[in-house]
Structure 1
Amino acid sequence: MSDVTPTILVVDDEKSIRNSLRDILEFEDYSVVEASNGQKVFELLEDSIDVDLMLLDIKMKGMDGMEILTKLREQKYSFPVIMISGHGNIEIAVKATKKGAFDFIEKPPDLNRLLVSVRNALDQHRLSKENQSMKSRLPEVPEIIGESKAIQQIKSAIEKVAKTSSRVMVTGENGTGKELVARWIHKKSSRYSNPFVEVNCAAIPADLLESELFGHEEGAFTGASSQRIGKFEQADGGTLFLDEVGDMSMDAQAKVLRALEENAIIRVGGTQKISVDVRVISATNKKLLEEIEEGNFREDLYHRLNVIPIEVPPLRERREDISLLADSWLDHLAQKDIVFSGISFTEEALNELKTKQWSGNVRELQNAIERLGLLVDGSKITKKDVQDLTFTGNRGDEGIDNLVNEISEFKDFKESAERLFLIQKLEDHDWNISKTAKAIDIQRSHMYTKMKKYDINR
C-alpha cells in the first residue's frame, strides 16, 4: 500500500455530501470511489475493487450504515470503516464501535478530525496487511523439544494458558527458550491470526523506549518528522511480547502500568487516548522480586504482569533432553545446508554432551552442534570430537581446573582465567558488549581493548 494510492469508498445517499468528501480526499491524493446505497456497495466489492477504507453514512434509505457494517464483517471484509452521521450520539457511536467501526464522526465533519482519522485507519490497515504478508513468509514456530518432566509441565501450562487472555511472565536464564514459549502461547490462542509483536526492552535506549511502545505524533520531539504507530497499536488484537522487561526504565514502567490498567495508550506528543486490545507476555532473566527490593522494578507492575508465571529451567537441570535437542538441531542444520547432510552422533558423543555445564543453555548447545558438524572428519561425531571441542560457556571449577593443570606460569594463568571470564559473561549477555561491560562494571572501551588483547570473537 505504501507505493499505491489508497482507495477510499465513500457511501452516502446525499450526492452533495459525496462530492464534498471526494473534493477533500482527492486534494489529499487519495483515490475515491462512490456508492449511494448498500446494494451499490456490494456490487462494487463483488467486482473485486480493492478498498483500503470506507466512509459510511449511518442514516440511508434501504440498507442503513449499521446493516452494511454488519454484512461487511460477516463477509470477512477487513478494511477499516469510519461511520459518519448527522444524528450522532454516544449510544450510536458505542454501537458502531462494537460492530467493528474504526471511528465515528459527526456531520458536518471537522476537516482536521476527518483527515487524522483517515490517516490512522489507513496506517492500521497497512500494518495489518504487512503483518499478514510477513506471517505468510515466516516459518512455523519451532517445536519445544524435550521429554523431561519440566518440559512436559511447560507444554501443559501453555495449553491451559493460551485459551485465556491472562498475562504471562516467562522467567529463566539466557538461552533457555523464553521467546519460544511466548510464541507458542500466541500460536495456540484465539489471537493467532493477529500480530505477535516483540519488543526487546534491553536493546532500546531508555529515552526511545516510550516512543517505541506507544508511538509519537509528528513534531513530538526533534527528529519526529512524521507520525509513528507504536508497538502497542501494532499488536492490537494480538500479543505484545515484552522481552527483558526487567531492564525497562522506571519511567517506562509507569507508562506501561497505566496502559495495562486502562487498556489504552497516548502517543508521545499526543492528547487522544487510543484503546488497544493487547495480550501482554513478558520475559526476564532477572529475579524481579530482588529488583523490587532494590528499587529497580515497580511492585504494582510486577503483579500486573505476573498473573501466570512460567519458569523455563536451565539445560543442566534437564540433561535427559540434550540428546533430543542435539539430534533435532543437527537435522535442522542439514535441511538448511548440505554441508551437514548425513552427519550424526554416536551414542557416546551424545552422552558426553550431557556431561557439560551448558551455562548458555539451548543457545550454547546449538552453537556447539554447529561447530561439531562443521569440524567433524567423516559422518560420525564421536565422544572424542565432543571432548576436543572448547566449551567456552562452561562455568565453575571444570574450566578453572583445566587451566590449573595446563598452565604453569601465574601470569599466563591470570590472563587465561580473565579470557575465560570475559567469554562467559559475553555468553551470559548474548554477546551484547554494552550490557556485558555494565554487568561486570568496566568501561565499554576497556571491554573492546580486552577482547582485542585476548582475540575474543563471537
Structure 2
Amino acid sequence: MPGRVLVVEDEREMRAMLEKGLTRRGFTPVALPSADEALVRLAAEDFDVVLTDLRMPGMDGLALCERIALNRPDIPVVVVTAFGSLETAVAAIRAGAYDFVTKPIDVDALVLVLERAVQHRALREEVRRLRQELGRREDSGTVVGESPAMKQAYALIDRVADLDSTVLITGESGTGKEVAARAVHTRGRRKDGPFVAINCAAMPEALLESELFGHAKGAFTDAKAARTGLFVQANGGTLFLDEVGELPLTLQPKLLRALQERTVRPVGGDTELPFDARIVAATNRDLELAVEEDRFREDLYYRLNVIGVELPPLRARGNDVLALSQRFIEQFASRTGKRVLGLSPAAAQRLLAYGWPGNVRELQNCLERAVALTSFEEITVDDLPERVRNYSQPRVVPETQDASELVTLEQLERRYIHRVLEAVGGSRTLAARILGVDRKTLYRKLERDDDTRKG
C-alpha cells in the first residue's frame, strides 16, 4: 500500500523527521521546503499523495492545495497544521484537501491517513479505468453476428485466449480488430490485468519508441523524468499493437528483440527491464507482401504471426449487417433519448445491398446519423446517407445483347481479379484465397495485366 509522498515543509527539522519516519514505514518520500518547488516537481513526476504544511512563507498550504486540485485533481492532499480549529479544517477541505492532521504529529496516525489517501487514489483510478473500458466496449459494440466467418474467428479466439502466444489479427480497416483483441484479453486468464493499446501509425518514430519502451531521465531534451514504456505498463495483461504494419523499419529490430527476450531497454537507459504481457497485434496491410517488398522484416512477421486471426469484411457477413444495425440503433437511441425501434424493411434492404468499404465502423457512423435525423420510430431509406440509398452492385459482365460489348475470357478474368481485389481492400493474400490460386500465380496474372496495359 505505501507509495510516493511529496512532503512540503519549510522547517528543516520537521522535514527531516517526516522523511525519516515515512521511509521507515515503507513510503518513498520526496521532501521539499516550498510550495513553488513542489509545483515544479509535480509537473514532472507522479506522486500518490502530497503532505503539506499549512503555514509557510510565500505560497501557503491552502493555496498549494487549490493549485493541485486544479491541475492534478487525481493526487490527494493532506494538510498539516498547528491550528486544529474547525475553521482551519473547513478551509482545508474547501481548498480541495483530502484530509488534515494537526501538530504535534503522531507519525503512526499520519501513516493511517496517508494510506487511506493512497488507497483513495487507487480506487479512483480503477473506477476511471473501468468507465473508460465500459465506454469503449459500448462504442465498439460487443461481438454481434451469426455468420460462419465470424463464428470461425471467435471460435479460434476462444481456443487461444488462455495461451501466451502472440496473436496477429488481420482484416480491413473498420472490421473490429480492436474488439477482437479485447476479446482475446477478456476471455483469457489475463482478463483482470491491464489492456494497453497503441496505434503504431498515430505518432512519429521517436515518440513511438519512447511510448513502447519508455525512456530514462535526460534521454532527450524534454525527458525531465523517467517514463515507463507500454510493454512494462501492460505487465499481467495484454499489449495491443494496432496498425503494426506501419511500424518504421528502424524500430522493427527493437520490437523483435523485445518479443524474443521478453525484456525492453528504455531509450537512453542501460538496464534491461523484464515484462510479462501477452502481445496482440493487428494490421490492415498485407504483411506477406510487405515482407516481399522489404518493407517489413520477415523474422518479425513470423514472430508476430504465431496465431493468425483473420476478420472478414462486413460485406461477407450477410445478415450480420442487420444484427449490428439493431445494436447500434439501440445504443444511439438510448444516448439521444429518442424512441427509435429499428429499421424499415426498405432501409434494411438498402443496408444489405450496400458494399460497406468502411466495414463495421462505417455502418456505426451511418446508423448514428440515421438515428439523429429520423422523425419516426423506424429508420427509413430517407434517413440513410446518399451513398447507401443510391448504391448499385457493379457487374463484371455487362447485361447487353450487343456482341461488340462482349469481352474475351482473358479480359473477363482480368476484370474479375480486380473486382475481387477491390472487394477485399487490396489484400492479395485474401484475393488469392478467394480466387483459388496461390499468391505467385496471382502476382503473375497481375504482372501480365500491367505489361498488357503498358504495351
* TM-score normalised by structure 1 residue count: 0.59
| Aligned-residue offset at 1:136 | 2.8
| Aligned-residue offset at 1:178 | 0.3
State the partner residue of 1:280: 279
C-alpha distance in structure 2 between counterparts of 1:350 and 1:252, whole Å: 46
| Residue of 28, 31, 53 corresponding to 1:29 | 31
| Aligned-residue offset at 1:220 | 0.4
* 8 Å contact kept, 1:359–1:393: no
Is 1:5 the counterpart of 2:5 in the alignment? yes
Q: 1:306 to 1:131 in 2, by over 3 A?
A: farther
State the one-letter code of the partner of 1:28. V
Higher mean displacement: 137-146 or 197-206: 137-146
- Matched position secondary structure for 1:251: coil
* 8 Å contact kept, 1:191–1:237: yes
| Aligned-residue offset at 1:139 | 1.0
| Aligned-residue offset at 1:270 | 0.7
State the partner residue of 2:371: 373
C-alpha distance in structure 2 between counterparts of 1:257 and 1:291, whole Å: 16
- Matched position secondary structure for 1:261: helix
State the one-letter code of the partner of 1:371. R
State the partner residue of 1:256: 255
C-alpha distance in structure 2 between counterparts of 1:26 and 1:167, whole Å: 37
| Residue of 134, 138, 141 corresponding to 2:128 | 134
| Aligned-residue offset at 1:395 | 10
C-alpha distance in structure 1 between counterparts of 2:257 and 2:120, whole Å: 27
- Matched position secondary structure for 2:198: strand
* 8 Å contact kept, 1:364–1:393: no
* 8 Å contact kept, 1:212–1:230: yes
C-alpha distance in structure 1 between counterparts of 2:120 and 2:390, whole Å: 44
Q: 1:188 to 1:130 in 2, by over 3 A?
A: farther
State the one-letter code of the partner of 2:5. T
* 8 Å contact kept, 2:4–2:30: no
State the partner residue of 1:152: 151
- Matched position secondary structure for 2:387: coil
State the partner residue of 2:10: none
C-alpha distance in structure 1 between counterparts of 2:230 and 2:205, whole Å: 15
- Matched position secondary structure for 2:319: helix
C-alpha distance in structure 2 between counterparts of 1:133 and 1:249, whole Å: 35
* 8 Å contact kept, 2:213–2:266: yes
C-alpha distance in structure 2 between counterparts of 1:2 and 1:291, whole Å: 49
CA deviation string 1:386-409 (max 9, x = no partner): 4x63349979859xx9xxxxxxxx
C-alpha distance in structure 1 between counterparts of 2:369 and 2:231, whole Å: 39
| Aligned-residue offset at 1:249 | 0.6
- Matched position secondary structure for 1:241: strand
State the partner residue of 1:389: 386
Aligned residue runs from structure 1 range 208-287, under 5 A: 208-287=207-286
State the one-letter code of the partner of 1:372. A
| Aligned-residue offset at 1:368 | 1.0
Aligned residue runs from structure 1 range 50-449, under 5 A: 132-137=126-131, 138-139=133-134, 141=137, 142-339=141-338, 341-386=339-384, 389-391=386-388, 397=394
C-alpha distance in structure 2 between counterparts of 1:23 and 1:160, whole Å: 46
* 8 Å contact kept, 1:170–1:310: yes
Q: 1:395 to 1:185 in 2, by over 3 A?
A: farther
- Matched position secondary structure for 1:139: helix
Q: 1:330 to 1:384 in 2, by over 3 A?
A: same
State the partner residue of 1:37: none
CA deviation string 1:185-230 (max 9, x = no partner): 1001111111100010000101211111011011001111111111
| Aligned-residue offset at 1:265 | 0.7
CA deviation string 1:42-84 (max 9, x = no partner): xxxxxxxxxx8xxxxxxxxxxxxxxxxxxxxxxxxxxxxxxxx
C-alpha distance in structure 1 between counterparts of 2:128 and 2:361, whole Å: 25
| Aligned-residue offset at 1:367 | 1.0
| Aligned-residue offset at 1:126 | 12
- Matched position secondary structure for 2:153: helix
C-alpha distance in structure 2 between counterparts of 1:132 and 1:6, whole Å: 22
State the one-letter code of the partner of 1:365. L
| Aligned-residue offset at 1:233 | 0.9
* 8 Å contact kept, 2:213–2:231: yes
Q: 1:397 to 1:3 in 2, by over 3 A?
A: farther
State the one-letter code of the partner of 1:208. L
State the partner residue of 2:77: none
- Matched position secondary structure for 2:211: helix
CA deviation string 1:97-151 (max 9, x = no partner): xxxxxxxxxxxxxxxxxxxxxxxxxxxx999877634333231734211010011
- Matched position secondary structure for 1:240: strand
C-alpha distance in structure 1 between counterparts of 2:389 and 2:380, whole Å: 19
C-alpha distance in structure 2 between counterparts of 1:232 and 1:246, whole Å: 18
- Matched position secondary structure for 2:223: coil
- Matched position secondary structure for 1:319: coil
Number of aligned pairs?
A: 297
C-alpha distance in structure 2 between counterparts of 1:356 and 1:290, whole Å: 29
CA deviation string 1:147-190 (max 9, x = no partner): 10011112211111111111100000010000000001100111
State the one-letter code of the partner of 1:157. L
**What is the percentage of aligned positions where both structures have the same residue?**
40
Larger radius of gyration: 2
* 8 Å contact kept, 2:168–2:308: yes
State the one-letter code of the partner of 2:182. R
- Name stretches of at least 5 consecutive residues in structure 2 with no aligned partner: 8-19, 33-47, 49-118, 399-421, 426-455
CA deviation string 1:365-420 (max 9, x = no partner): 1111122222223222234544x63349979859xx9xxxxxxxxxxxxxxxxxxx
* 8 Å contact kept, 1:360–1:393: no
Q: 1:325 to 1:197 in 2, by over 3 A?
A: same
- Name stretches of at least 5 consecutive residues in structure 1 with no aligned partner: 8-17, 31-51, 53-124, 402-424, 429-458
* 8 Å contact kept, 1:358–1:365: yes
| Aligned-residue offset at 1:236 | 1.0
Q: 1:19 to 1:382 in 2, by over 3 A?
A: closer
* 8 Å contact kept, 2:325–2:367: yes
| Aligned-residue offset at 1:6 | 7.1
C-alpha distance in structure 2 between counterparts of 1:310 and 1:128, whole Å: 35
